[in-house]
Structure 1
Amino acid sequence: MPKWKHFLLFLLTLTATTFAGLEWIYGKSVLFDSITIEQWSGAMTYSFCFLGILTVHEFGHYFTAKYYKLKVTLPYFIPVWFFTFLPSIGTFGAFINIKSRLKTTKEFFDVGVAGPLSGFVVALGVLIYGFTHLPAPEYIFDIHPEYQKWGLDYAQHAYKDLAEGTDMMLGSNLLFEILKHIFVDDLTLFPNPHELMHYPFLFAGFLACFFTALNLLPFGQLDGGHALYGMIGHKWFHKIIPFTYSIFLFWGGLGLFSAEDPNDYLLSYVPLYLLYLYYVSMKLFKDKVTIGMYVMLVFTSQFVLTTFYPNIQGYTGWLLWGFMLSRFLGLNHPRPIIEKGVDTKRKIIGIITLIVFILCFSPAPFILE
């Protein structure tokens, strides 16, 4: 693919993320509303920060692949904007295409961790800037002038008025909570989670953390899969995959069913859910009996826990990602030609990568209320 096409995709993605930024930050549509210079500036701040982090992430992979003399493409950016009619963050991300076969475990490890660690450093800088340069709390009235009648106590009233509709709030992660307590002197002035998308640096940083955590999930061809495979090797990696994946599925479906649910609901939807679990688990084991036992273990543990602790709720959005992992991205890791474990220095880097994953992972990243 000619280099100008990569650049064109980047420009289209930059445009799409800017348009999406107008919608998320200001509730403005480039198609139907007049946009002020300040609003364009805020939307482009989000766009440059978010795409900047993604770009550093991908070039971390790219330059490491080049170091190993692998045949690799420039990043492909994926623009996505639904002309205001559906919510979009402006992109589905970016990827590089490595056309050479990676020969050693070390190559898998180094190429895998270079991207998320590089992007995390930039995301950390963006978030620190965002936390140390929060606008005055009254800034929210520029976005929601209707909140002025309640003053800064708007959170006590505004969301009650939305009870009959649907409202979305961003989740949190350990990195957000740590930075909040380090850099925000008065936590009562910190933006309400329902309003975080109106703060360009925080919104871009949160999305960057979300994408970083996705990439660092310890499965298959994901960056986290490469890191874990390099640290523990082929045998142990494929032994623990059923356990790590069961935890993922468990959290995704936790809260869907309990003994308190009506019989009609259980009879209608439990069989469909069991079919889903069976379908996404098919590649973990060779025989159908083992798959069936695995499915029933996951479902029964969810059902029992929800019955006794109904307030514990997982995040069903992960079920879609569980499907993507199982059927498209793959749970298992390809074997390198030269299979040799990584050295101690890289194992330390692997532990750091795990810490980054823990810091960035949000159990419920986007919450509909």
Structure 2
Amino acid sequence: MSAEFSDAPAPRALSSVFYVYDVVREGDELVYYGEPLVDQRTLHQTAWPLFDERGYEVSIESRPGETVLVAEPARESGAAFPWTNVALAVLTVLTTLYAGTQWYHVDPLSLDVVRALPFVAAVMGVLGVHEFGHYLMSRYHDVDASLPYFIPIPFTPIGTLGAVIKMKGVMPDRKALFDIGVAGPVAGLVATIVVSAVGLLLPPISVPAAPAGTVSIAFGNPPLLRGIAWLLGQPLAYGDGLAVSPVVFGGWVGMFVTFLNLLPVGQLDGGHVMRAVFGPSYERVAPLVPGALFGLAGYVYFALDAPNGATVWLMWGVITSVFVFVGTAHPANEEPLDRKRLVVAGVTLLLGLLCFMPVPIRIVG
């Protein structure tokens, strides 16, 4: 073994799970050729901490006729300026600003465009706080994660498809998987509640009368939003050419995103939480989620006569089917969660249910 890799685990350290017959340096990687003595999951769970404590990332690869362990020095994240993240965030500000002008009924090419800035702050705030919750907890557990990538989508009601972060490397244990998975929804819910309350306390806006025969979109109100409005003594709807501040819709977005992310399947936050709570056995239950969403779509279509609402759940039935196929994270250490985390899981999932609405979108007119 070369001096550059002298601090890497010696082959004998792997003898209980992997018979090593050769170690070769290939560029920046150290490749252990050998024969696995256990199943791949056990091999990874045993090898990962040996490499991690020495500052290496390790993966298992299948090559023609053999299995290899590939180790490379862990890279420091965040060294380069995140130009892509910044550029996407700026573009998303512009697309949400344009969407906001439609809610405030102002000319997007006039100085009145500044009236839509509270809408931009509300939408990007709830989405950004959600993703930064994941990011900060990833850094806490030394899991390599990117800054949030916002997704600008022009000419839509909110101007964005949300935001995501990318994580690389191995999830060390179920505690880290849980903490990272639950941090986004918890942080996002706090931001959502604040944004909703602020929006409800803002004065209503004037809206022009819609021409006869105009098709409009109506959004359902989840129990959490109705509860906040009740506590504040504020209406969720006005008459006589008035409407609630569009900032409230920013809160609605946060609630809908929270519910979708807490669907207990695959790489969604809910999938991470449930996998951390129940361990590998949950992977046998996750395939039931798409079927439940297809059933919900049928109920909304036939019983509630809301084809557009049914389309939302039909689409998410397809999306979660893909997540089931891809699978969930596999932490290196399967030690069960402590009681405190189990309580947090229960409370978070309950709050997620308060964000559910059978018919999130309905076409009116």
| TM-score between the two structures when normalised by the length of structure 1 | 0.70
Q: Are residues 221 and 195 of structure 1, via their aligned partners in 2, closer, same or farther at CA, if it must alter by over 3 Å? A: farther
Tell me the equivalent position of 2:141: 68
Tell me the equivalent position of 2:275: 229
Aligned: 1:206 with 2:252: yes
State how far apart, in whole Å, the 1-side matches of 2:90 and 2:186 are: 25
Aligned: 1:315 with 2:310: yes
Aligned: 1:42 with 2:87: no
Tell me the equivalent position of 1:117: 186
Tell me the equivalent position of 1:325: 320
2:92 to 13, 29, 32: 13
State how far apart, in whole Å, the 2-side matches of 1:108 and 1:310 are: 38
Structure 1, residues 6-27: CA drift from partner, whole Å, max 9, x if none? 112111111111011112331x
Q: Moved runs in structure 1, 4+ residues, more than 4 A?
A: 309-314, 328-331
- Is the Cα contact below 8 Å between 2:310 and 2:359 reproduced in 1? yes
- Is the Cα contact below 8 Å between 2:287 and 2:321 reproduced in 1? no
- Is the Cα contact below 8 Å between 1:254 and 1:312 reproduced in 2? no
How far residue 36 of structure 1 moved from its aligned partner, in angstroms, is: 4.4
Unpaired segments ≥5 residues, structure 1: 148-157, 257-305
Q: Are residues 362 and 35 of structure 1, via their aligned partners in 2, closer, same or farther at CA, if it must alter by over 3 Å? A: farther
State how far apart, in whole Å, the 2-side matches of 1:70 and 1:204 are: 30
Q: Are residues 77 and 330 of structure 1, via their aligned partners in 2, closer, same or farther at CA, if it must alter by over 3 Å? A: farther
Structure 2 residue identity aligned to 1:25: Y
Aligned: 1:238 with 2:283: yes
Structure 1, residues 286-335: CA drift from partner, whole Å, max 9, x if none? xxxxxxxxxxxxxxxxxxxx5xx676986221111211221257574233
Percent of aligned pairs sharing the same letter: 31
Structure 1 residue identity aligned to 2:201: T
- Is the Cα contact below 8 Å between 2:290 and 2:320 reproduced in 1? no
Structure 1, residues 8-56: CA drift from partner, whole Å, max 9, x if none? 2111111111011112331x453xxx5343xx23311100111012111
Matches within 5 A, 1:149-228: 161-162=212-213, 165-184=214-233, 187=235, 190-191=237-238, 199-228=245-274
- Is the Cα contact below 8 Å between 1:22 and 1:29 reproduced in 2? yes
Tell me the equivalent position of 2:344: 349
Q: SS at 1:41's partner residue? A: helix
Aligned: 1:100 with 2:169: yes
Q: SS at 2:337's partner residue? A: coil
State how far apart, in whole Å, the 1-side matches of 2:318 and 2:242 are: 30
Structure 1, residues 63-117: CA drift from partner, whole Å, max 9, x if none? 11111111111111111114xxxx3421111111111111211111110010110
Structure 2 residue identity aligned to 1:321: W
State how far apart, in whole Å, the 2-side matches of 1:60 and 1:310 are: 36
How far residue 362 of structure 1 moved from its aligned partner, in angstroms, is: 2.2
- Is the Cα contact below 8 Å between 1:132 and 1:184 reproduced in 2? no
How far residue 240 of structure 1 moved from its aligned partner, in angstroms, is: 2.8
Q: SS at 1:94's partner residue? A: strand
More helix by share: 1
Q: SS at 1:208's partner residue? A: helix
State how far apart, in whole Å, the 2-side matches of 1:203 and 1:111 are: 27
Matches within 5 A, 1:21-60: 21-26=100-105, 28=106, 30=108, 34-37=109-112, 40-60=113-133
More strand by share: 2
State how far apart, in whole Å, the 2-side matches of 1:177 and 1:123 are: 13
Tell me which of the two structures has the higher relative contact order, counting C-alpha pairs closer than 8 angstroms and 6 or more residues apart.
1
Structure 1, residues 107-163: CA drift from partner, whole Å, max 9, x if none? 11110010110111111111111222343xxx43xx21x37xxxxxxxxxx8xx43x
Matches within 5 A, 1:257-336: 306=302, 315-327=310-322, 330=325, 332-336=327-331
Unpaired segments ≥5 residues, structure 2: 1-79
State how far apart, in whole Å, the 2-side matches of 1:310 and 1:177 are: 20
Q: Are residues 329 and 15 of structure 1, via their aligned partners in 2, closer, same or farther at CA, if it must alter by over 3 Å? A: farther
State how far apart, in whole Å, the 2-side matches of 1:195 and 1:176 are: 19
- Is the Cα contact below 8 Å between 1:221 and 1:330 reproduced in 2? no
How far residue 255 of structure 1 moved from its aligned partner, in angstroms, is: 5.6
| TM-score between the two structures when normalised by the length of structure 2 | 0.71
Tell me which structure has the larger Cα radius of gyration: 2
Q: Are residues 14 and 333 of structure 1, via their aligned partners in 2, closer, same or farther at CA, if it must alter by over 3 Å? A: same
Structure 2 residue identity aligned to 1:191: Y
Q: Are residues 5 and 331 of structure 1, via their aligned partners in 2, closer, same or farther at CA, if it must alter by over 3 Å? A: closer
